[in-house]
Amino acid sequence: MANNEIKYDRYRFDVVVIGAGGAGLRAAVEARQAGLRVAIICKSLFGKAHT
């Protein structure tokens, strides 16, 4: 790898939920309970979203 190349970590998810409000977190819980790998992307700390 050259010195100017950036190394990125790679992850695999079945579902990516955008937003950690009530609906987003509920969707994430349902997907996880169904056995799927879930990632949540949010703009603030968990529990601070306004639904």
| Residue 2 resides in a domain | no
Tell me, what's the pLDDT at 47? 60
Q: Is the dihedral of CA 49, 24, 38, 7 positive or negative?
A: negative
| Residue 39 resides in a domain | yes
Range of the domain at 26: 11-46
| Residue 4 resides in a domain | no
Tell me, what's the pLDDT at 4? 85
Question: For the chain (length 51 residues), average pLDDT per consecutive 10?
Answer: 85 96 94 98 72 62
| Residue 30 resides in a domain | yes
HEC readout, 18-42: ECCCHHHHHHHHHHHHCCCCEEEEC
CA separation for the pair 50, 23 (Å, rounded):
11
| pTM for this predicted structure | 0.72
| Residue 17 resides in a domain | yes
Number of domains in the chain: 1
Tell me, what's the pLDDT at 34? 99
DSSP state of 14: S
Tokens of 9: 């970590």
Tell me, what's the pLDDT at 51? 62
Tell me, what's the pLDDT at 20? 86
